[in-house]
Structure 1
Amino acid sequence: MSKEHEKYLKDLKNNKIKLRVTRILILVIFIALWEIAGDLKWIDPFLTSTPSRMCKSLVAFYNDGTLLSHIWITCYETILGFTLGTVFGTLIAVILWWCPFGSKVLEPYLVVLNALPKVALAPIIIFWVGNGMTAIIVIALLISIVTTIISVLSGFNEIDKDKIMLMKTFRASKLQILKHLVFPYSVPVLISALKINVGLSWVGVIMGEFLVARKGLGFLIVYGGQIAQLDMVMMSIVILSVIAFLMYEIVAFAQKLLIKNKSFEK
């Protein structure tokens, strides 16, 4: 390895460290300023809460033994809605790719469903499947599935037509084309769909919990607002942010592993 290459790798490592340190410093400074502003009454701590007040609320819920239950229920609903939306969305995209005529027929309907605010369907879903966890999961599923279908199908259709024709000249079946060409070349699209679905699933679950839940972080946000306990509201929002970030990082880590394995195979 040349000295220039070593210097490049060292600079690259140092830049990554600087980036992480800067991000942490920004967060620490923000939290410190928030706390100071609340203590000095620059802002109204009743309306905006403060980190220390949120920590007290967190400790109180933990001591009650209810915090982990609320977190678990919301995470369970989100992971299930995320998984079902991704799996069913990808399967439907495969079916539409397999049948181009059906894809063209359904294209305007998919566009309309994607543009439709899913919150408008929530009351209907509650009547259909009941007032409980099932309704929340279905709402999360519907929010993510249409986006998955559109994004994955677009990725499938962007595959080089010449490569498909080449495989057909070698008498490859449609299943072989899908397995050996379409899926491998659409991995970045699938990963992007996963990243999008992380956020959409959280939106669907929280929206559902706003309407029908008696447990979960969404319920705590609504209940805290109703009883004017904004510390509870802010605490729940911060917990949601942390868990959503962790889910996104898990998907990003899986993407890095996948890219690394593909590079190793090459």
Structure 2
Amino acid sequence: MLDPRYAWLRRLIALGLVLALWEGAGRAGWLNPLFAPSPSKVWVALVDLFADGRIWPHLEATFSAALGGLALGIVVGVLLGVAAALIPLVAELLEPVMSVLNAIPRVILAPLFVIWLGIGIASKIALSFILVAVLIFFTVFAGIRQVDRKLVERVVTLGGGRLALVRHVYLPSVAAWVLGNLKVAVGFAFTGACVGEFVAATHGLGYLLSFAQSTYNAALMFALILLILVVVMLIFAIAGRLERRLLRWN
């Protein structure tokens, strides 16, 4: 039976073997470097991005758009979700709109936001915002609807009003659901930022990806994809630690 303590080592060895085979196939000429550059060429492209310092303005642009859309989407999604869950009229008005937005691939709104808001950071924040807000809305809406009814009845029986229910029952439930979906929300935020930059921008990782595609620079594309992956995984780790710390009471 495999020892779970060494799962990370087995994964690292498997990754190393894949990279070694990939590098060997590239050096042997079995792979076309125009489409599948070897890992060493991808690494050189990644090092070059940091060596000349040109990556930092693009990282700043993507982070600003993603985190701005994430923060705004969480706030608006929570407020609308709570209002819809507690007020039937609001639910009647909002739920169909959110269902439509949830049904369509929201990244196709990127060109529309560019037309409305221009190629600056505002259109990228808007796309990240809409992706996150819809997710958080349904997370909060479902979370409050699924609160244990017996717990609500006990609070009411003990004399608790609407404010007590919100403070002691609904808000803890909302916090658990939102933090439980924080990783997904982070992924959506960076997706929105990068897609918006890919469509139209002057800075950002998505803009660099578009540039690499237009110049058929596959090594740069792989390097940027790897960089985005590493950045998002680091934020996932931070979000997971935050989730565990804040939900200890749960």
Task: Confirm or deny that 1:175 pairs with 2:163.
Answer: yes
RMSD over aligned Cα, in angstroms? 1.9
> Secondary structure in 2 aligned to 1:48?
coil
Structure 2: distance between partners of 1:100 and 1:46: 57
Deviation at 1:15, TM superposition (A): 4.2
Task: Confirm or deny that 1:203 pairs with 2:191.
Answer: yes
Structure 2: distance between partners of 1:19 and 1:207: 34
Extract structure 1 runs of 4+ deviating beyond 6 A. none
Deviation at 1:25, TM superposition (A): 1.7
Deviation at 1:196, TM superposition (A): 1.3
Task: Confirm or deny that 1:221 pairs with 2:187.
Answer: no
The residue aligned with 2:109 is: 121
When structure 1 is superposed on structure 2, of 35-44 and 149-158 the one drifting more is 35-44
Deviation at 1:178, TM superposition (A): 1.3
On the 8 A contact 1:53/1:231 being kept in 2, the answer is yes
Deviation at 1:54, TM superposition (A): 1.3
On the 8 A contact 2:114/2:123 being kept in 1, the answer is yes
Unaligned stretches of 5+ residues in structure 2 = none
TM-score (ref. length: structure 1): 0.87
Task: Confirm or deny that 1:91 pairs with 2:63.
Answer: no
TM-score (ref. length: structure 2): 0.92
Structure 1: distance between partners of 2:95 and 2:48: 51
The residue aligned with 1:35 is: 23
Query: Which of 3, 6, 29 is 1:18 aligned to?
Result: 6
> Secondary structure in 2 aligned to 1:214?
coil
Matches within 5 A, 1:13-162: 15-162=3-150
Count residues with an aligned counterpart: 250
On the 8 A contact 1:34/1:50 being kept in 2, the answer is yes
* More helix, by proportion: 1
Amino acid of the residue matched to residue 73 of structure 2?
G
Matches within 5 A, 1:241-252: 241-252=229-240
* Percent identity for Structure 1 against Structure 2: 27
Amino acid of the residue matched to residue 181 of structure 1?
V
On the 8 A contact 1:152/1:193 being kept in 2, the answer is no
Structure 2: distance between partners of 1:229 and 1:57: 10
Structure 2: distance between partners of 1:211 and 1:240: 17
Amino acid of the residue matched to residue 102 of structure 2?
N
1:216-255, Cα deviation, whole Å (9 max, x unpaired)? 1111111011011111111000000111111111111112
